[in-house]
Amino acid sequence: MPFPSNTKTLWTGRVLSGLAILALGADAVFKLATPQLMIDNSPPLGLAPDPGLYRTIGAILLVSVILYAWPRTAILGAVLITAFLGGAVAVNLRADMPLFSNTLFGVYIGLVAWAGLWLRDPRVRALLPIAG
């Protein structure tokens, strides 16, 4: 039996996607606009304290978030965001950051992003069905 698609499901997906877009978009903008602030407030992650590096990371994330927000490219954006967050988890794990708060935060955001996309896009539900 296919998952029922209704207005409540669609809006729940939009809200979850909006939360992911807001969090990731803010992170991208901060990395682009004030990379030195990001460097100063980041724990030692093993990344070079170079504003250009943080701007590049911010640009990659911003492009991924824009692709995720646009319905026609949302699946590609979700895949790119997942890859980006996987890198963030690896960097935090390497830096021995606390597991459930810092290290796995990227996993939490990724789950919210994919849940939002799953609820708002029937193509994703067809690709990733959940047996009921």
| Cα separation, 11 vs 118, whole angstroms | 12
Q: Summarize the confidence of residues 26-52 as an average pLDDT.
A: 89
Residue 75 near residue 114, CB atoms below 8 Å: no
Tens of pLDDT, residue by residue over 74-105, are: 999 999 999 999 999 999 999 999 999 999 99
Summarised one tens digit per residue, pLDDT across range 104-118 is 999 999 999 999 999
pLDDT in tens, 43-52: 788 888 999 9
Q: In the predicted model, is pLDDT for residue 29 greater than 90? A: yes
In angstroms, the CA 124 to CA 65 distance is 17
Q: Give 81's contacts (C-beta < 8 A, 6+ positions apart).
A: 20, 24, 61, 64, 65, 68, 110, 113
94/122 Cα distance (integer angstroms): 37
Q: CA distances (Å), 101 to each of 8, 46, 95, 104, in order? A: 30, 19, 13, 6
The letter for the amino acid at 38 is M
CB atoms within 10 A of CB 99: 10
Which amino acid makes up residue 97?
A: M
What is the structure's pLDDT at 1?
45
Which residue type occupies 94? Answer: R
